Amino acid sequence: MSLFNKPVDDVDFDDLRDLLESGAVESVILEFKRECPAKDETLKKLSSFANTYGGYLVVGTEADNDGRLTSLRGVEPRNNFKQQVIQWCFDGITPPVHSFVSPPISAPDSGRVFYVIHTPMSAESPHFMNGRKGSYIRTDEFSQRWEPRLADSEELVALYRKRNTVSDRRTRLLSRAEERFEAYRTHEREENPLPAGQAGAVLAISVCPEYPGSPVADEAGLYAATAEVRLNWRQTHFPGRNGVFTQHETVLVPDPARRVSLFEATVWGSVFYATELDDVLGDVQGIHMYAMLGYILLFLKHAGALLRSFGIEGNLLIHARLSRVRGVPLLYTEFGNALVPGPTSPLDNEFSLEVPKLSSAFYEDTDQAAGEVVKRLFFALNWPAQANDDASLDRLVEAGYEYNFWRRGL
């Protein structure tokens, strides 16, 4: 796996050696630095990455006049280098830039180290240095070496349009996934109609980079990753591999959630999950509350594992949608008794929400992201008392763990 397909925390010396052996050349998304740059130079380079297409700064590497990597010399270890760079990005750039700094990467038998700094394409561009005195972009217009340069007004407008184009891609990916699930669900229900009394309520969750600007894998790599990243879930594996198929830019798995459901992953780093929710249990019909909580946790934890395997860093958007829910009650238990109906959505038949998350926070604490989604869904479903404080939300997340046959902390 290359430097560009893993979080910087996972980069090792072999990844840097691969860059050298492959003759890597500086580009709009890659720069080599012999020494740790000073504060102003660091901020120019990182803000220019954020303003353009994102990129990687590899410290401790030497390049020739054409920008081709020629040696891995390393630098002397720096105390608190990661914290220093992050603080610089917060204090010296407006709005602040999110950069990801690797731990020191040891060079064999030398005592010297390397640092890799990844700055994703930013949703908050343009970023200005020193109190809005200038905004930098990546260019080689005036030299043979890629470098930051002050942007003019036309270039800032072009950057804005570029981000709109990439945002439109994210919207199209989600719309296509929802259309595919609806086509699949319709086909399945033509052959196997819903039982009497069921409305076919649907939960859909997607997680996608805020700016899916470039593919994170090719089709073969995507297929391999979706086969490798699987979770233990209710005495089986999620997602299964029965019936897996491919479509343009995507790998899809039908019925991964033991009912009419669909999982989709794309080469752009977006993942999508959808499942029917409601059940008829004896004389009671509605949405099994604990199943819904379990699915939310399952989908988000699997998404985190898969996106981390692609090396995705930066801003993510979690999109959750409930549909066909008007008048469909949540089913829950009181004091361990049988399931009973709770509140319903009296007016809205569907609703959706978005939760923005920084990738590092999402990977480190998926439960917290799940809690945000659960809270907003319960308020939308007309049951605010069940999710109006941290203790209540924690109990709901714990109920999702129990439904999935998981223990927290594992």
Q: What is the pLDDT of residues 83-109, one digit of tens each?
A: 999 999 999 998 889 999 999 999 888
Backbone angles phi, psi at 211, to 5 degrees: -125, 90
H or E segment to which residue 369 belongs: helix 366-380
Range 317-342 average pLDDT: 89
Specify the DSSP class assigned to residue 91. Answer: H
Determine what percent of the chain is predicted with pLDDT higher than 70: 95
Give the pLDDT band (50/70/90) at residue 4: confident
pLDDT tops 90 at residue 409 = no
pLDDT at 321: 97
Q: Which two tokens stand for residue 10?
A: 């996972």
pLDDT tops 70 at residue 74 = yes
* Closest C-alpha among 115, 126, 107, 111 to residue 50: 126
How, if at all, do strands 55-59 and 30-33 pair? Answer: parallel
pLDDT at 241: 82
pLDDT tops 80 at residue 282 = no
Give the pLDDT band (50/70/90) at residue 150: confident
- CB 141, CB 104: distance < 8 Å: no
Give the pLDDT band (50/70/90) at residue 403: very high
Bridge partners (DSSP) listed for residue 147 = 139
pLDDT tops 60 at residue 346 = yes
C-alpha distance from residue 402 to each of 65, 142, 159, 368, 369 (Å): 60, 60, 47, 17, 18
**How much of the chain is in helix, strand and coil states, percent to nearest 5?**
35, 30, 35
**Residue with more model confidence, 280 or 174:** 174
The string of pLDDT tens digits covering residues 10-47 is 999 999 999 999 999 999 899 999 999 999 999 999 99
pLDDT at 147: 67
Identify the residue whose tokens are 């010296």. 92
pLDDT tops 60 at residue 1 = no
* Closest C-alpha among 268, 329, 249, 256 to residue 299: 256
Give the pLDDT band (50/70/90) at residue 133: low
Query: Quick check: bond before 209 cis, omega within 30?
Result: no
Give the pLDDT band (50/70/90) at residue 140: low
Number of neighbours of residue 112 by Cβ within 10 angstroms: 17
CATH of domain 3-151: 3.30.950.30
* Three-state secondary structure call for residue 185: helix
* Closest C-alpha among 267, 289, 364, 310 to residue 2: 310
Q: Name the residue ranges covered by the structural domains of the chain.
A: 3-151, 169-403
Q: What is d(CA 276, CA 57) in angstroms, rounded to the nearest whole number?
A: 45
Range 373-392 average pLDDT: 93
